[in-house]
Amino acid sequence: MGAPVARDSTPTVPAPAEIDAIVLSNEAVNAEYRRIVLSVPPEATGAVPGQFFHLLCPQKEGLQPFFRRPMSIYSMDAAAGRVAFLYKVTGTGTRAMAEMVPGERFNIFGPLGIGFSLPPDKAPIVVLARGVGLATMAPLVSHARERGHLVSAILSARTPELLMSVEEMRRDGAEVHTVTDLEGTSDVENVEDMLHMLFSRERLGGLYVCGSNRLMLAAQRVALRLDLFGEVALEQQMACGIGMCFCCVRPFREDDGIVHRRVCCEGPVFPLLEAIQW
């Protein structure tokens, strides 16, 4: 079924733990998304890009979220003891989270799930992301560059103002390309052409995608056509985050059949060609 899924050695990651973090900042980055930065102990900064934490959003003035909220790691700074999350205010939990101020305590649990791996032989990689997928992909850039991989990024949004992580990815050494609906450059045909262009320039040996069903399908077509290693980070509602409740089960391709897997503990990162559109 296309490219083999041979991976580099899996990094050692800390066991998940309940952590009493401290809010350092909680600010808007554009009209839709906010970034919260937390002070955490060292074990929280050993996560692999693609893993997530389960956040216990506070109860504030009538906002009483019940379940934790799963959020991908946006950035980690082990030296400073900081971890950041990018989020969109969409419901009770994230509304309460948006009201948190520096100095407040924030209970988080993690790191959880299976993160990204890298293709063998330091092959160049491309990250393809849209919306909150831009947060999930951000730490992969520095992770791959530190291990000798060239990195290119294609970042998609409705308008240029909603693009995120552009300067951060460039700072971390990625060649960044942006596409938007407003400019008419984000259609899948154009994105596929861009991927073929990067392949012709020997900048595409592994393909990573998050944040859009249509971009995932485009990535799958290109991966099949070019016989590429690839991974996809999936977004899914979760209750427990550790595989006990089976709330996040989704179908996947395996050989000639369909299997069902828990996104929280058997993912959220999966081989690209095994994922099925939602």
Same domain, 63 and 153: no
Say if residue 120's pLDDT is above 90: no
User: How many angstroms separate the CA atoms of 100 and 9, rounded?
Assistant: 39
What CATH number should be reported for the domain holding residue 96? Answer: 2.40.30.10
Q: Is 31 a member of any domain? A: yes
Q: Is 75 a member of any domain? A: yes
Q: What is the arithmetic mean of pLDDT over 86-108?
A: 91
DSSP secondary structure, 65-96, as one string: --S-EEEE--EEETTTTEEEEEEE--SHHHHH
The percent of the chain in helix, strand and coil, each rounded to the nearest 5, is: 25, 35, 40
Same domain, 146 and 199: yes
Same domain, 125 and 223: yes
What are the φ and ψ backbone dihedral angles of 230, each rounded to 5 degrees? -160, 155
> Which SS3 state, helix, strand or coil, does residue 178 take?
strand
Same domain, 93 and 138: no
Predicted local confidence at residue 6, as pLDDT: 47
Q: Which residue would you say has higher pLDDT here, 14 or 256?
A: 256
Q: Is 250 a member of any domain? A: no
Domain boundary among 55, 90, 112: 112
Same domain, 40 and 57: yes
Predicted local confidence at residue 132, as pLDDT: 79
Same domain, 31 and 62: yes
Give the pLDDT band (50/70/90) at residue 64.
low
Q: Which residue has the tokens 């899996």?
A: 10
C-alpha pair distances (Å), 65 with each of 34, 70, 97, 211 = 18, 13, 10, 24
Q: Is 236 a member of any domain? A: no
Domain boundary among 230, 248, 270: 230
Q: Is 156 a member of any domain? A: yes
DSSP state of 168: H
Contacts of 189 (CB under 8 A, 6+ apart): none
Q: Is 52 a member of any domain? A: yes
Q: Is 244 a member of any domain? A: no
Q: What is the arithmetic mean of pLDDT over 124-142?
A: 92
What are the φ and ψ backbone dihedral angles of 7, each rounded to 5 degrees? -125, 165
pLDDT by residue (tens digit) across 227-264? 999 999 998 888 888 889 998 899 999 988 999 999 98
Nearest to 104 by CA among 42, 39, 33, 54: 39
Domain boundary among 53, 78, 112: 112
Give the pLDDT band (50/70/90) at residue 57.
confident
Same domain, 133 and 164: yes
Q: What is the arithmetic mean of pLDDT over 90-111?
A: 91
What CATH number should be reported for the domain holding residue 160? Answer: 3.40.50.80
pTM more than 0.85: yes
Q: Is 147 a member of any domain? A: yes
Candidate from 59-63, 95-99, 166-170, 211-215 with smallest mean pLDDT:
59-63
What total of structural domains would you count in the chain?
2
Say if residue 63's pLDDT is above 70: no
Residues 270 and 219: beta-carbon distance below 8 Å? no
Which residues are bridge partners to 206 per DSSP? Answer: 125, 229
Mean confidence (pLDDT) of the chain: 90
Same domain, 85 and 54: yes
Range of the domain at 102: 17-112
Four-point Cα dihedral 5, 175, 28, 233, nearest 10? -10
Predicted local confidence at residue 54, as pLDDT: 93
Give the pLDDT band (50/70/90) at residue 154.
very high
Same domain, 86 and 125: no
